[in-house]
Structure 1
Amino acid sequence: MSSINTNVAAMTALQTLSQTNKELLVSQNRVSTGLKVKDASDNAAYWSIATTMRSDRAAVSTVEDALGLGAATIEVAVTALNSAIETITKIQAKLVAAYTPGLDRGKIQKEISELQAELRNTASSAVFSGENWLQGDSVAGPSTKTIVASFSRDSTGSIVIGTIELNVGPTGTMLFDTGTGAAAGILDSVASYTLAGTTASFSIAGAGNGIDISGITDDPVDLAGLVAMAEGVDAALKTMTDAATLLGAAKSRTSQQKDFVNKLMDSIDTGIGQLVDADMNEESTRLQALQVRQQLGVQALGIANQSAQMILRLFQS
């Protein structure tokens, strides 16, 4: 039945064309943004997962920055500690040289005093971003420094932050104790020796009661005291070596963790892409097909609208 009030063919063609235009708009948005899931209306589940993963990715990026800061601080401490070890080795060598009869031990003492001053300068200059891990207050200051090393989210959605901890106290990397209490740093430690028949003590750093060999003679008792000084310096050297080992292990772990974090960020980016990125090959093919459908739909609608014009011919004389 032909009707001038209801053109079923035109209505059908219009609905098809409208649907094609909607699909074409979706495909054009995907091509222009590169995303198949741009907001929650596209795919609520994927959008929610991707949003959480983007948040985690930003947190992991912050962890990478924290690891970089920690690695730089460790590097400064390692450099300074290695320099201090070289200096303490020189002091030990001077003490051994002073054992030789006939040497001017007063001049050797002047060299040792300069080396002791160099130790303190080295430790005080080992600062990065306001942090000095070679000297501090053993009472008021923290004995452990923390580096943020990881960020993760468990199955319940709870956040877990991992850290790398480093002992910077007297039993760790602290060379000098700058607090008001009893000095407890590695180079503040006191050793005893006998000089001219009198038992005395000294600190490697030379703070108040430092090494003093200017009055040592070739007397066996004095030479025994000199040996005791050398042994005290050697003990401090061994402890400094242990401290360098701690820093070296922390440096290695920080470097490995930083590499892992970089790979983790790449994996998160890949995972997000799998959820929300559009397949451009597929979308370009689909876009071309929809453009052809749109053109055919316009033509079909035009043909359907012309059918009403044909009814007029029935009434022409």
Structure 2
Amino acid sequence: MSSILTNMGALNALKTLRKVGSDLDDTMQQVGTGKRVSNAGVNASVWAVSKTMESDVKGFQQISDGLGLAQATLSVARQGAESLADLLTDLKGKIVVGQQDNIDRQKVQADVDALRNQINAVVNATQFNGQNLIKHTSTDAGSGHIQILASLSRTESSVTTTDITLKRQDLRGLAAVVAASGGTYTAAADQVTLNATQSAAMDLSGQSVSVGTAFAISVFGIDADGSAFAQSDYRTTAAGAPTQAEIAGGTLAYVAREGDTMADVVTGLGRRWEAYANANSLSSDVLSLEFAGSTITASSDVSSGSDTLQVTLSRLGADAGNVTGGDLGDLASIDVTTEAGARDALGRVDVMIEAAVDAAAEIGSVQGRLTTQEKFTSQLIDSFKTGIGALVDSDLVETSARQQALQVQQQLAVQALSIANQQPQTLLSLFR
């Protein structure tokens, strides 16, 4: 049916023109923004997923920046510890010179003092952005470790973080101080006796550790006739149960630092024993002490039913006012002006070198983990960006071709509308 009131052809042409115009607007928006999904109105679910992923990318970028800062901090700490190991090696050379009889010990001591001052200066200067990881003096809870944010983990209901933990080292050349009186003292918190069994272990995992608590080991040997060992060499105290004053005046004590576990205490006691055994030329055949985890294992090749060696762990509570010290605490007491002092120093310097090397190795290990994590985070960011692009980015080659096609369709639709609008004029000619 033909009508001058209702032009169905024009309506259809107009509908087509509007549809082409709408598609062309969408295409132009994709060209302008470069995105196929630029807002929630286009595709709400895809847009929501992309925004969540973009927030994760922002988080990982901040983590990457933090890892870079941590890398720099650990690099400074590691280099400081390595420098201390080198300086202690130089110090060992001076101490070896001090073993000779035909030298001026005062001059050697001057060199030792200069190296000691340099070592202390390195410890104080090894800091980055206010963080000194080889000087641990704080007793505040949590100060014994630093947490380095390493990653984010997203689940359906929550987002959690993953940290890399680094234990602070303490390479100060300051000896710990154990109070000679006061506080809660336990003379024999644990004890083993080597006899015909010749081997025994102390499991210290049940001992509680808090900052400022002092632990000490002592040895009391019994061999009256000297048939197996020189009794006086294997007695660090006057009796089997040491007094508080004896552990305070001795060198076999360790004061727990903030963040220490029993394994750290055992390691500290192990270093104290190694230094003492070296300095006093004790034989491992007579008494060998192994320090691993939270266990101290004592063994002897010469103990018997009558020739015994008693090893005791003593404990003094933090309420006594003990003061923590550094792993290079023996620096303060090095004195090569006498033959005995030079011999004692030589026995202790190797343990200090070991402590510096161990600290550098532990820091280097964490630094290696950070390097791996930093690379992984960078790759993860790239993967997230690729995924977001696949979700929302527009294929500009395809969009450009579509734009040109729609422009042609738009021109054709305009012409079709023009033709449709001319049809009523044809109807009017029938009434002339």
Shift of the 23–181 alpha-carbon distance from structure 1 to 2, 3 Å rule, reads farther
Scaled by the length of structure 2, the TM-score of the pair is 0.64
Counterpart of 1:26 in structure 2 is 26
Query: Is residue 2:355 matched to residue 1:239?
Result: yes
Name the amino acid aligned to 1:59. Answer: G
Per the alignment, residue 213 of structure 1 pairs with: 336
Q: Which residue of 2 aligns with 1:174?
A: 170
Aligned pairs for 1:251-270 within 5 A: 251-270=367-386
Q: What pairs with 1:184-195 in structure 2 (closer than 5 Å)?
A: none
**Which residue of 2 is the match for residue 282 of structure 1?**
398
Residues 206 and 181 of structure 1: CA distance in aligned 2, closer, same or farther (over 3 Å): closer
Q: Do the aligned partners of 2:150 and 2:162 also contact (CA within 8 Å) in 1?
A: yes
Query: Could you say what secondary structure the match of 2:31 adopts?
Result: helix
Structure 1 residue 228, shift from structure 2 partner: 2.4
User: Which residue does 2:69 correspond to in 1?
Assistant: 69
Contact 1:116/1:205 (CA < 8 Å) preserved in 2?
Answer: no
- The 8 Å contact of residues 153 and 160 in structure 1, kept in 2 or not, is answered as yes
Amino acid at match of 2:144: S
CA distance in 1 between counterparts of 2:328 and 2:36 reads 68
Judging changes above 3 Å, is the alpha-carbon distance between structure 1 residues 110 and 177 closer, same or farther for their aligned structure 2 residues? closer
Please say if residues 113 and 206 of structure 1, whose CA atoms lie closer than 8 Å, have aligned partners that are also in contact.
no
Distance change >3 Å, CA 109–CA 98, structure 1 → 2: same
Q: Residue 150 of structure 2 corresponds to which residue in structure 1?
A: 149
Instruction: Give the % identical residues.
Output: 34
CA contact (8 A) 1:136 1:177 kept: no
* CA drift at 1:57: 0.6
Q: Name the counterpart of 1:127.
A: 127
Query: 1:197 corresponds to which residue?
Result: none
Cα displacement (A) at 1:205: 5.2
Higher relative helix content: 1
Q: What is the aligned residue count?
A: 293
The separation in 1 between residues aligned to 2:357 and 2:408, in whole angstroms, is: 76
Change (3 A) 1:278 1:17: same
Relative distance call for 1:180 and 1:130 in structure 2 (3 A) is farther
Deviations, residues 175-225 of structure 1 (Å, cap 9, x unaligned): 128899769588xx876668xxxxxxxx95577x431222x15xxxx2xx4
Q: How does 1:48-63 map to 2 (within 5 A)?
A: 48-63=48-63
Residue-by-residue CA offset, 1:108-145 (whole Å, 9 max, x unaligned)? 10111011111111011111111110102153361111
Distance in 2 (alpha carbons) for counterparts of 1:55 and 1:257: 19
CA contact (8 A) 2:64 2:377 kept: yes
**Aligned mate of 1:292, from 408, 418, 425:** 408
Which AA in structure 2 matches 1:32?
A: G
CA contact (8 A) 1:84 1:119 kept: yes
Three-state SS of the structure 2 residue aligned to 1:152 is strand
Secondary structure at the residue paired with 1:131? coil
- Counterpart position of 1:199: none
* CA-CA distance at 1:151 after TM superposition: 1.1
TM-score, with normalisation over the residues of structure 1? 0.86
Q: Aligned pair in 2 of structure 1 residues 226, 177: CA closer, same or farther (>3 Å)?
A: closer
| 1:73-152 alignment, distance < 5 Å | 73-137=73-137, 139-140=139-140, 142-152=143-153
Letter matched to residue 151 of structure 1: L
In 1, distance between residues paired with 2:174 and 2:108? 28
| Mapped partners of 2:357, 2:9: distance in 1 | 91
Q: In 2, Cα distance between the equivalents of 1:256 and 1:262?
A: 10
2:182 aligned residue: none
- Structure 1: state its 5+ residue gaps: 195-202
Residue type matched to 2:15 in 1? Q
Root-mean-square deviation (Å): 2.3
- Could you tell me how far apart the structure 2 residues matched to 1:140 and 1:295 are? 77
2:128 alignment partner AA: F
TM-superposed CA distance for 1:167, in Å, is 1.0
Q: Which runs of 5+ in 2 are unaligned?
A: 179-253, 258-267, 281-326
